[in-house]
Structures are given as C-alpha cells and as structure tokens.
Amino acid sequence: SSDLRGFPLWRAILRQLHQTGKQPAPTPEDLLFPGRVIGVATEPGALVIRSEHAFMRIDALAGNLILLRVSMDGRFLAPFSYGVCKDPGEWDRPDIQIEESQAALEVSAGDLALSIDRATSGLTLRTGDGHVLLQSPAGVGAHPPDGQLVWQARLSPETAFYGLGEKASALNHAGRAFELWNTDPALYDRGDDPIYMSIPFLVALKESITLGLFFDNPYRTWLELGTQNAGEVSYRATGGEFRLYLMSGTPREVMTAYTDLTGRTALPPLWALGFHQSRWSYYPDSRVQEIAHEFRTRHIPCDVIHFDIHYMDGYRCFTWDKQHFPDPISMLDELHGMGFKALSMIDPGIKVDPGYHVYDQGIERGAFISYPDGVPFTGPVWPGDCHFPDFSDPEVREWWGGLYRDLLETGVDAFWNDMNEIALITGSPHPTWVPDIVRHSREGQGAAHAEIHNQYALLMTRASRDGMRRLQPDKRPVLLTRSGWAGIQRHAMHWTGDNRSTWDHLHLSIQMVLNLGWSGVPITGPDVGGFAGGPSPELYTRWMQVGAFTPFLRVHSMISSPDQEPWAFGPETESICRDYIALRYRLLPYIYTAIWQSVRSGMPVARAMSFAFPEDKDTHSLDTQYLFGDSILVAPILEEGAVRREVYIPAGCWIDFWEDRTYEGPIRIAVDALLDRLPLFIRGGAVIPMWPVQQYVGERTIDTLTLHCYPSPSTHTSTLYEDDGISVDHTDESAHRVSLFETSRSDTSVRISRSVAAGAFEPGYRQITLIIHSLDRPPVSVELDRGDILQQEWDQETNKFSLTITTIGEFILTMVP
C-alpha cells in the first residue's frame, strides 16, 4: 500500500541487499559436506544415496549422460528448469550396472561411470573404459546459513575449458575465473566479466575426450577454472539445487546431448542469414528510405534494415514516433517493395505513464515484477521510470506476445529484444540493479529475483517468440536477443552487444562467437565495425570479411558515432565490402546447410578448431582462425597494417580458396593477404554449393546451382540442405531435401556422386555447374549416369574443369593417364 520507493533509506537498504546478492565465499569451517555413506537404494536407472549430511541421486539418462543431484535435507523436488526442455522422466533410460565394493559404489551406463567413495561421498567420474575424467574428493558441499553451494573437482591439468556463454576473453578459459550473472557492462572491454549472457554449461576438453558439465541452477554463480592448480574446477552458487548433468563423447556428441536437454535453434528463414544494416538509430523515415536506396543503387546485397529505439514514441515499446514516422505502413510497404525486411527493437522496460496502453494493461493485469509489498519495481531506462513485465508468469507471457500484433500488422518482419539483463540506466558502474527481493511468479509458485534474474531474457524471448508464432503461424519468427541463459538458442538469435571499433575487439568477436558455439548458441555475431567509436576503413574492411563468415551478419553502431554503412569509408572499402557480402550471398546454400546441421544436432556454425580437431592439442587454444560450417577454414587478418599471417593447417588436405594450392596438414604456413583478401581454405574432398549473387534473398529464381568440387584421394562426403527458405512446414517430406555428395580421386579419375538422404523437395534450378578444382591434367572423358551435358570447358591456366549439366547423379571424369 505505501510506496516506499522515494525513501533514501529504502534505497540504501536495497543497495545493501544487492551487495548481499554478491555473497562472499563461505568460510570453510561453515561448509557441510555429505560425509560417510549410510544407505543406498536403487530405482530403475537411478541410485539414491544417503550420507551423513546429504542425499544424492544419480540418474543415468543416456549412455553418455548422467544427472547428479544433491540435497542436504533429502527433498528432491520435481526438477523444474526453464532451461531444460526434456525432463529426466522423458528419457529412454539405459540399463545401469551398480557395483558395490568395500570402498565405493559405482553406477555405470554405457560410456560413463560415476563412483562414490563410501568413507567421504567423494566422486570419481570415469569413461566406460576406465579413464578418469574428474575427481571430487569431498563431493558437493553446502553452506547452511545462507544456502550457498560449493563443489570442487580435479580434471587433468591439460584440460582446456570452453563455454559459459558470452565471455569477453580468450577462447580457452583455463586459468581464469568467471561469474554467471547477466549484466549490462555499458560497453565492454576485454576481460570484463560478467557481461550480457551467462550459460552454466562448461566444456572440458582433454585430447580425444570431451566432458560437458551443465549446472542446471540459475542462481548467481562463480567458477574458477584452474586458477590455483591447472585442471581444478571450483563452483559456487548463491542458492538453488545442485543439479549437474555430466555428458561425454566427441565435441559433437556432447553438443548433441546438451541440446537434447536444452533444445535447439529453429530454422530461421533464409533472409535472416543475409546482410543486416543497423544503427542507433535510423530516423526519420526519409533517412531509412535513403539507406535502402543506397544499397540498391550501389548493388550491395542487403536483406534487413534495423529500427533502433528512435522509431518509438518517446521510447514507449509497441508505439511509433508519429512525427518522424507519420505513415509506417507506407514506409514498410516501400521497403518491402525494394526487397527489404524491417526489424524493430523492443525493450522490457515499460514507461510508467498512465494513458499509455501497455502501461495501463500491465497495471490492470498486475503484470509487472513487484516488491514483496506488491508495489511494482521501478527502474530508469530510456523513457524514464519503467516497470518490467514478469515473464515468469504464463499469463504475462501470453499478454506480452499479443502486444506484437500491431507492429506485425503494420509490416514489421522481425524483432530485437535488448536491455533484457535487466539493464537499468542508473549511472552507477553496475547498471543491472534489480534487488534480489523483487518477486516473480515462476509459474505461480513464487520466486525471488535472485532465482529469475539470469533467466529473465530467456523468458522474455520465449514470450516474444511465442507471440510472433501465434500471430503469424505461417512465418518463421526472427528474433534477436542480447541476454539469455541455457536454452536461449530455442527462442532467439544473438549478437555480442556493445563492443568497440578496435582491432582487439575484432579478435574478441571471433573468440566470443566461437565460445558461444561451444555454449550451445549457434547463431550469433558482433556489431561489424564496432558499436562505440568509428573504425578506420581498414578495420571496417577486415571486420566485414570476418562478418561475412559469422553466422549472423550485421553492421551496427552507437548513437552519434560516424556513419558505418559500407559506402561511408570511400570507394575501395565499399568495393571490397560489396565483394565479401556478395560472396556470403553466393555461399547461402552452404551457410544454410551449416545452420540446418545446428538445428538438427546442436553443432556450432562457426566452429572452434578445437571443436573440429579435438585430438590435436595444438588447436585447443587456437582462436585466431576457425571453421565456418563443415568445410571452410577462415583465417582473418586481425592486426592493423598486416598483409600476411600464419595459418595452422590441421590434419588432412586443405586447398587455398583463392589460389587452389593444396596443403597437407598438420603444418603451419604463412599466407599473404592484401586488404582485399580474407585467407580461406577448403577441406579436401568438399563440395561447396553456391548460388548466383542476389541483392536480397528471393530477388530472383535461382536458375543454376554451382558446385565447387575439391576432390582428394580419400573419399569425402559433403551435405547440402535445401528447402524454399521460408515455409514453416519445412520438415515435411516434400518440403526439404538433403543431398550427399561423395567425392574421390585417383591418378586417372575423379568420381563425384550425389545421393538423396532425405526429403523430396525439388529446387527451382534447371542446371548444375560443376567446377572441379586442381586437376593437374586435362580430362579425356566424362561419364554421367543421368542428365545431359550442356557445356564443358577445361581451363589450362587455372587447372579447373567446368561443366554444366541438367542434373547430377553419378559422375566420373577420366584423365590422361
């Protein structure tokens, strides 16, 4: 009833409460560890252990996935989690073996075995064949006075660590400490932690064994990874249940297990993989049209123009500024007519403003997060004082989703959820400042902000996405988010927030995108050119080259920063950027396939070298080069003035994309790269599909598919996923097609064969151009098992043989012996 918000004392109390949210590490004497094992019980697929001070429950969910839960008071509530979309009860559990000896109990299922020491409840995790993965001599500890949880485990000192979400530091986390607490750093620098998106999923890699550790606990968490002793992990959370999913296998198997648990990305429409141009903010409407026309007259492909907060009326979400955008319907019609899509910002902060429909409805419904006395929490954001919807309430999610109706009907195609850490503009160095005592619904069960904080953006994007799907069931939703938690990949694509226009940030953007891939977030990318400041033409050019080879490609920049469109840096920059954006558009069938692989199995799209070559220790800390999809190795220039760099060519045969020169890895090479050159290497045996350049996706019917073939002596298979790029029913048999291209070569012949692995979709193209690279001799004969040859040509100078055919099945090329 009484509104205490104005009271300085109340503020002081809140500040203090916020500080306690940080909770100093408990003193060791106050910690309680499980101690001696007293009793053991088995359930189908599970083992329950009673120790002196704790209860443990071990569930084998799959042959390479074990769930360990620890409870001090013996209560194991239904394991509710916003991150997990497959409950322990839904798994088809493997048979488990339980071995009891004098000293220990061991549960094993397939590839993993967890043993519990009878004297201490200490834990040892092994592979099925006995190789020790981790040891935790004291087991999981608790701090009864305040509910903190602690756990320490020893892994091999050689272990490389990845994951944990968005981390602004080197890819391999070994030797570093991290906090998981979503925060708007208001521009970040290398080393700042935490920043926007925390994900409690850690990957530990030791040569051929990858171990995934998913701490399914949203509370504020700290992790130290080998800061004292190499390979030692120390975990501390301010509350919650200790619920740890352990999974093992190859990197791919671990990502599959993690995304079986937390879900996968839905296939975006193809246009979302095109080029996005943004700035804070394009207005008025005439400026938007001007930008759109520049792209088309300059022939720089572009699919999406972003509307940052200035399109709103006084920063009120779901409104238009009628002064600068008097006729949004016509403006969006015109953009659509030119082949553009419009993507608009929606923040969680709702202006406290009686008469504003979202505010009024929110108050009426009791939709905003509130103090325990029922007074809505107020915090300052762009429009001034704001309230924040409680997205942990199903009715609020439903209401929020419906709010998108007007903008969608006006013609907005996609959305962008920002500031959802929750970020407040308080002027303090820590703008994220919702006190822990603020209440949330948590599906009607009630929870403090401390529990919901890290999941707020996950829930906001869930509400936004569900609304978009309900309102436009025939469209694939496109949503972008800044913050998130485990499972965010189900709801939204991501960008890496407010970076800076510096060379180090160019490098950092690669480190972050690769690490996000290891964290289960496959579609992400940086603000190309940097958000704060202005890049030099050289930096902008190098960044665009990298951007063309990141899953999400967008130029964005901060209010009052210099223009950052591709033509803003003079003709040389413009022409190089045009070429790289065009190369991305040519590669769309390849990129779409990589995205589809992620949709299927949780694989990253931009893959760390360590992901692709885990058994090669030299890749474990490599974060200046990476794989984009299955077959393209990207090795960008990351230093000012540099025109040459070292590239680590991993095992196997790799072909320089520009020169067609072949390398046998592992080998370190130096390559030249003048400003217009991004070093790229193609995996031997690969078939790279390409389309003609379009100015936007769907500009015209694709009439020719070009297959760049790099046959190598060992047989290799490449994948191509195709559908119409837009329909929601793409999983239907007739709506998609997966083709496999198998290649091999001998001294005298090249063989390429296509088989259809799934689906019956018929793409619109009438012909296929095969370009066979690096033939050292001219071919003497061509054999096709179907279709006709329309044209063929041997290029003596480049050693390429190209031929255009009507369809492809089995194809054999014979050369002069």
Name the site residues for ligand MIG (rule: CB under 6 A): 280, 308-309, 345, 418-419, 482, 497-498, 556
The nearer residue to ligand MIG, 55 or 196, going by C-beta atoms, is: 196
Residue nearest ligand MIG, CB atom distance? 280
Per-residue DSSP letter, 497: -
Among residues 419 and 815, whose Cβ is nearest to ligand MIG? Answer: 419
Of 233 and 423, the one with the shorter C-beta distance to ligand MIG is 423
**Active-site choice (260, 418, 722, 723):** 418
Q: How far is the CB of 321 from ligand MIG (least distance, A)?
A: 14
Active-site option among 421, 451, 616, 723: 421
Q: Would you say 455 or 564 has its CB closer to ligand MIG?
A: 564
SS3 call for 601: helix
Nearer CB in complex with ligand MIG: 111/498: 498
Q: Give the span between the Cα atoms of 771 and 688, in whole angstroms.
A: 10
| Beta strand pairing call for 479-481 and 414-417 | parallel
> Whose CA is closest to 783, among 744, 814, 816?
814
Amino acid at site 238: T
For strands 493-495 and 524-525, give the pairing: parallel
Helix H or strand E segment including 385? strand 384-387
Contact 770/806 with Cβ under 8 angstroms? Answer: no
- Of the two residues 564 and 625, which places its CB atom closer to ligand MIG in the complex? 564
Q: Which is nearer to ligand MIG, 56 or 555 (CB)?
A: 555
Considering beta carbons, is residue 283 or 663 the nearer one to ligand MIG?
A: 283
Q: CB-based burial of residue 668 (10 Å sphere; 0-12 exposed, 13-18 middle, 19+ buried)?
A: exposed
Taking the complex as a whole, how short is the minimal distance between the CB of residue 527 and ligand MIG, in angstroms? 7
Instruction: State the distance between the two ends of the chain, measured CA to CA, in whole angstroms.
Output: 92
For this structure, is 3 an active site residue? no
The yes-or-no answer on residue 406 being catalytic is no
CB of 423 to ligand MIG, least distance (A): 7
Sign of torsion over alpha carbons 451, 455, 457, 459: negative
Cα–chain center distance at 154: 28
CA dist., res. 618 & res. 630, Å (int): 19
**For ligand MIG, the closer CB: 136 or 461:** 461
Pairing state of beta strands 304-307 and 275-277?
parallel
Cα(705)–Cα(180) distance, rounded to whole angstroms? 45
Tokens encoding 625: 């080069």
The span from the CA of 607 to the CA of 628, in Å, is 6
The least distance separating ligand MIG from the CB of residue 525, rounded to whole angstroms, comes to: 12
Catalytic residue among 253, 498, 616, 656: 498
CA-to-CA dists, residue 734 to 364, 390, 513, 594, 729, angstroms = 47, 41, 34, 21, 9
| Token pair in block for residue 487 | 């499972």
Give the integer Cα–Cα distance in Å for 312 and 320: 4
Q: Nearest-5° angle of CA 185, CA 190, CA 195?
A: 30
Between 112 and 532, CB nearer to ligand MIG: 532
Look-up of token digits 């910690």? 31
**Residue 285: which of 343, 346, 319, 335 has the closest Cα?**
335
> 221-225 and 232-237: which strand pairing?
antiparallel
Question: Looking at beta carbons only, is 59 or 308 nearer to ligand MIG?
Answer: 308
What number of other Cβ atoms are within 10 A of residue 571's Cβ? Answer: 8
Contact 54, 142 (CB under 8 A): yes
121 vs 496, which CB is nearer to ligand MIG?
A: 496
Instruction: Determine the Cα angle at 459 with ends 457 and 460, to 5°.
Output: 60
Question: Is the Cβ–Cβ distance between 553 and 584 less than 8 Å?
Answer: yes
3-state secondary structure 21-84: HHCCCCCHHHCECCCCEEEEEEECCEEEEEECCCEEEEEEEECCEEEEEEECCCCCCCCCCCCC
Tell me the C-alpha distance between 465 and 398, whole Å.
Answer: 10
Work out how close the CB of 497 gets to ligand MIG at its nearest, in angstroms, rounded to a whole number. 5
Q: Are 75 and 50 in contact (CB under 8 A)?
A: no
Q: Is 8 exposed, middle or buried (0-12, 13-18, 19+ CB in 10 A)?
A: exposed
- Tell me if 634 sits within 8 A of 627, measured CB to CB: yes
Place of tokens 């089995």: 810
Residue 421 bears catalytic tag: yes
Bridge partners of 784, per DSSP, are: 811
587 contacts: CB under 8 Å, gap ≥ 6: 688, 690
* Closest approach of ligand MIG to the CB of residue 482, in Å: 6
- Residue nearer to ligand MIG on the CB measure, 64 or 278: 278
Q: Which residues are marked as active site?
A: 418, 421, 498
